[in-house]
């Protein structure tokens, strides 16, 4: 999709981080924006921070709920008449020892990080195919390319997003469709994901603070979301599938792939 001006984009997780950076960058391209997030005050504040020239609407949405994704699409159509780009971007962090993670934490991470993308593709893809143009961007992670310890639920969800995206890419190619798909696989980015447990049902303030303290320094030193958004825009315009943002990612992927080819144990890689 070389021409974005006047088209409509839906961005989940739009209140902060990569999502908000995408909103700003797509807006600069002249797109109409549907901003979706579960955190209402943050979503409204994010929308209010944008230039008046960016045409947008906000929609409260729990992306783990397929019915709410259906409602998100209806809201987008009612507001702007069409959808051309879908960024399934909302996500949360989560991990711990495989022996200790409880089932509620498994379910929460996989519902938000994987099922949200499944819902997004299922709901929006038919309309994109029918209109004969469009692009889907699924936010995964380097955690979907190689596995670090103590991040089981997150790794599994992100591997699922990569597999879903690869499958969709192959299907679209076989159908000779003009619709494109990209999978975004960043490493550390300066976002609020370290405190994403704040949105987990029944979570304590102490748990949120503990997770933020552990992961916060690495995230604070991470890449600017604006640079990630630039890479996404380039991929949408050029119909590029893989979006990797960090220089050390190819080497880590090569080590993992080499271990598969050689039949050796997985390398001990960190994100």
Counted residue by residue, the chain has a size of 271
Euclidean distance between CA atoms 20 and 46, whole angstroms: 7
User: Is 154 considered catalytic here?
Assistant: yes
Q: Can you list the alpha helix ranges (DSSP code H) found in the chain? A: 17-28, 40-48, 66-80, 103-110, 116-131, 152-174, 205-220, 225-238, 249-262
φ, ψ (nearest 5 deg) of residue 32: -90, 135
How do 85-88 and 32-37 pair as beta strands?
A: unpaired
Q: What is the largest CA-CA distance in the chain?
A: 56
Catalytic residue among 80, 115, 154, 159: 154
Name the 3-class secondary structure at 222.
Answer: coil
Reference 171, options 241, 248, 236; nearest CA is 241
Which sequence positions are flagged as catalytic?
Answer: 154
């Amino acid at each position: 999709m070389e021409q974005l001006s006047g088209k409509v984009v839906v961005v989940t997780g739009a209140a902060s981080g990569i999502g908000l950076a995408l909103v700003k960058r797509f807006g600069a391209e002249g797109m109409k924006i549907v901003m979706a997030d579960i955190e209402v005050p943050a979503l409204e504040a994010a929308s209010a921070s944008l230039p008046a020239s960016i045409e947008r609407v906000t929609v409260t949405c729990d992306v783990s709920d397929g019915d709410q994704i259906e409602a998100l699409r209806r809201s987008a159509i009612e507001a702007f008449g069409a959808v051309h780009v879908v960024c399934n971007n909302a996500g949360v962090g989560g991990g711990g020892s495989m022996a200790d993670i409880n089932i509620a934490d498994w379910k929460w991470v996989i519902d938000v990080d994987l099922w949200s993308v499944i819902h997004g593709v299922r709901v929006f893809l038919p309309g994109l195919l029918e209109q004969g143009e469009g692009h889907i961007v699924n936010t995964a992670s380097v955690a979907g390319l190689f596995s670090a310890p103590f991040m089981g639920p997150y790794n599994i969800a992100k591997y699922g997003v990569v597999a879903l995206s690869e499958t969709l890419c192959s299907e679209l190619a076989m159908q000779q469709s003009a619709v494109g798909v990209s999978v975004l696989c960043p490493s550390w980015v300066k976002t609020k994901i370290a405190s994403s447990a704040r949105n987990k049902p029944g979570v304590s303030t102490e748990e949120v603070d503990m997770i933020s303290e552990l992961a916060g320094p690495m995230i604070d030193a991470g890449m600017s979301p604006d640079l990630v958004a630039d890479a996404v825009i380039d991929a949408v315009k050029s119909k590029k599938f893989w979006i990797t943002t960090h220089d050390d990612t190819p080497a880590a992927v090569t080590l993992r792939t080499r271990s598969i080819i050689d039949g050796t144990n997985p390398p001990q890689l960190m994100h």
